Amino acid sequence: MIVLVTIMNVLPEKQKEVLQTLLSMIETPGKEKGCLSYGISCDIEDKNVFNLISAWETRQHLDLHLRSERFSVLLGTKSLLCEPLNMQIFTVSDCEGIEAAESARKKETTKEGCQYH
């Protein structure tokens, strides 16, 4: 799985316009081949910072997205930003769910004579 994280620092007066653009991008992620999920979040410390997170089956699927009209719309928001888009691409080789947290919480670890549960 490939995860694309795009961080956008939006001009305060353009926040609503960018949010509307982002919402239009995530309405139908299933229409893009290989798209597993698409979501946006707002930074809890700065409401003008948006994170757009998408997951893709393969790098080839992501590359198709990066060449798409949908992604061109995102690039078109650059005049509405305080700074250039910050993009990070992660290759995920393994993925675990809540079971991993439950398992870790059950294990007892001894450190300096104290036990943690």
Residue 6 belongs to domain with CATH number: 3.30.70.100
pLDDT at 8 over 90: yes
Q: Which domain holds residue 111?
A: 2-116
> DSSP E strands: which ranges in 15-95?
35-42, 49-56, 86-91
Q: pLDDT for 45-68, tens place per residue? A: 999 999 999 999 999 999 999 999
pTM of the model: 0.79
């490939």: which residue's tokens?
2
Give the chain's domain count.
1
pLDDT recorded at residue 114: 54
pLDDT of residue 24: 80
Please tell me the predicted confidence (pLDDT) of residue 110.
43
Q: Over the chain, what is the mean pLDDT?
A: 87
